[in-house]
Amino acid sequence: MNNVRLTIAQYIEGIVAADRVVLAKAITLVESTRPEDKTLASALMDKILPYTGNAIRIGITGVPGVGKSTFIEAFGKHITKQNLKIAVLTIDPSSQLTRGSILGDKTRMEELSRNPLAFIRPTASGNVLGGVAGKTREAMLLCEAAGYNVIVIETVGVGQSEVAVRNMVDFFLLLMLAGAGDELQGIKKGIMEMADAVVITKADGDNVKHATQARAEYQQALHLLPSKNSGWTPPVLTCSATSNTGIEETWKMIRSYKDKTTVSGYFEHNRQQQNTVWFGEYFQQLLQTDYLRFAGNKELQDELTQLVSEHKLSPHRAAQRLLEAYHRAIQEQILKKE
């Protein structure tokens, strides 16, 4: 099966049957840039849509060294002990060309990767902003169609571009360290505002005191932020993946969030808004792709860019001229077909 191109029906049958090999092949298909693969992938995503939406989607981010992979492995093992299936989409900041340490996360989550109830998929972020890979959404939906109850998206790290992940998950978890300097200055306010909870990691041994103090500081800081539309007040927890403390409490907290926001109607409302955002982003991508099909526009764009950089033409007027050229190219194509 590895060397044979599957049909849509075979993909659907394998995914719904939770065949991990077929699931992996499907994710590879949607990540492909080949035109024939794009057409097949688009049809596949339409077909699997009725099987999606039944998982809880969790985004996990944190500062470098916070122990995201260690936390996720402990969290995943806790999930699978309850006979639930978890899919972890880890975003590797390695090069799209060299692939770098693309299997690094799978190596760090060695025990979880061997668990039949877990599926781990490392994906290179390349030069895609937002802390997520270009086809993370599609991979997430494919995992849902395969029956995974919990989807975890582990992002590259903390930064302003990280916010994209918030628009594709139900719960956004921020992991932080204690005793590593001025914690409140070391994290951007924007990330704090988006977090549905903060978990202080490595709260064991001599670090328990620092973690407890950091918890109080973060809780106070969160209270100063604007109230969330969800009506949820972000809590701050401490945990230790090595001593397996705080993991169960974190899962209970996430389930509590889902229960409360489902009752209030926010959970479904948030997903509807996310679908609308995705639609807009996909349209922009298709529009950009369509624009690039016209070679003349690229040459004109380079010329206009030079004029704008030399202050010989206003950016507004340059954009208008480029749009007009694009419209003319489309019109010429229509006339040729007629």
Q: How does 268-288 read in b/e, with b if 16+ C-beta sit within 10 Å?
A: eebeeebeeeeeeeeeeeeee
Handedness of CA 183, 185, 191, 195 (dihedral sign): positive
Could you tell me if 204 and 246 are in contact, meaning their C-beta atoms sit under 8 angstroms apart? no
Residue 123, both tokens: 């994906």
pLDDT band with cut points at 50, 70 and 90 for residue 62: confident
pLDDT given for residue 313 in this prediction: 94
What is the pLDDT at residue 296?
Answer: 77
Mean pLDDT, the chain, integer: 86
Alpha helices in the chain (DSSP H): 8-16, 20-31, 35-48, 68-81, 104-108, 110-113, 136-145, 189-194, 208-223, 247-264, 266-292, 295-309, 315-337
CA angle, residues 314, 317, 319, in degrees to nearest 5: 105
**pLDDT of the residue at 298:** 83
pTM given for the model: 0.86
pLDDT of residue 306: 96
**What integer pLDDT is reported at residue 225 of this predicted model?**
84
* 262-306 pLDDT per residue, tens: 999 999 999 999 999 889 888 888 888 788 788 778 889 999 999
Average pLDDT of the residues in 199-226: 89
40-54, 88-102, 290-304: least confidently modelled range: 88-102
Predicted confidence (pLDDT) at residue 184 exceeds the cutoff of 60: no
